[in-house]
Amino acid sequence: MQGKLIIFSAPSGSGKSTIIRHLMDSGLNLHFSISATSRPPRGTEQDGVEYFFLSPEEFRQKIENDEFLEYEEVYEDRFYGTLKSQVEKQLSEGQNVVFDVDVHGGMNIKAYYGEQALSVFIQPPSIEALRQRLENRGTDAPEVIQKRIERAEYELTYADKFDTVVINDDLETAKAEALQKVKEFLS
């Protein structure tokens, strides 16, 4: 049986990763999409497990050959992207493939797969609540937090282009709502 796709996008600090981890542990045959990157492996990372590791030249060649559903050059020669062939392989194995991507990547994947994909936008209750979460993490300098807030304000303008929006005002409620929407989509 062919799998389906679940696409998650959200501003940094919205709780997306926590919600995705909850869904991955819910017994729904969910599997992460394995992305490609032009950065070198870190620590014990293995090719084909955490990422497909490509040289910048190999990555550019695959872009030229239209082999990506979505990709981004984050820094010069530092690419990240989703290979069509990998997603097709996972779908043909009956896996439901989960994506954690930015809004543009999410919209590209949704446009390519249409009704076979569910796009979910995880939204903070407000920009101020998001700022508070980022500050409470204690991991970023004030100027980094400000950049994340500016990026979040931009990303929030795309929320209505997603199939569904989950507002993460209360984490347990948001996890339950996301799980219900994914279950409905997969049934």
Give residue limits of the domains in the chain.
Answer: 5-186
- Kind plus residue range of the DSSP H or E element containing 75: strand 68-75
Joined tokens for residue 20 = 């995705």
* Statement: the pTM of the whole predicted model exceeds 0.85: yes
Nearest Cα to 80, choosing from 94, 63, 92?
Answer: 63
Does residue 26 surpass a pLDDT of 90? yes
CA distances to 3, 64, 141, 146, 170 from 117, in Å: 10, 25, 36, 33, 26
Report the sign of the C-alpha dihedral through residues 129, 12, 70, 109, in that order.
Answer: negative
Residue 169: DSSP 8-state:
S
Q: What is the pLDDT of residues 47-96, one digit of tens each?
A: 988 899 999 999 999 999 999 999 988 889 999 999 999 999 999 999 99
Phi then psi dihedrals of residue 176, to 5 deg = -65, -40
At 75 the pLDDT is 84
Q: What is the pLDDT of residues 100-150, one digit of tens each?
A: 998 999 999 999 999 999 999 999 999 999 899 889 888 889 898 898 899
Return the percentage of the chain with pLDDT > 70, whole number: 100
Residue 41: DSSP 8-state:
P
Architecture label for domain 5-186: 3-Layer(aba) Sandwich (3.40)
Do 183 and 24 touch, CB atoms closer than 8 A?
no
Nearest Cα to 121, choosing from 42, 4, 16?
Answer: 16
Edge-to-edge order in the sheet of strand 68-75: 51-53, 35-37, 78-83, 68-75
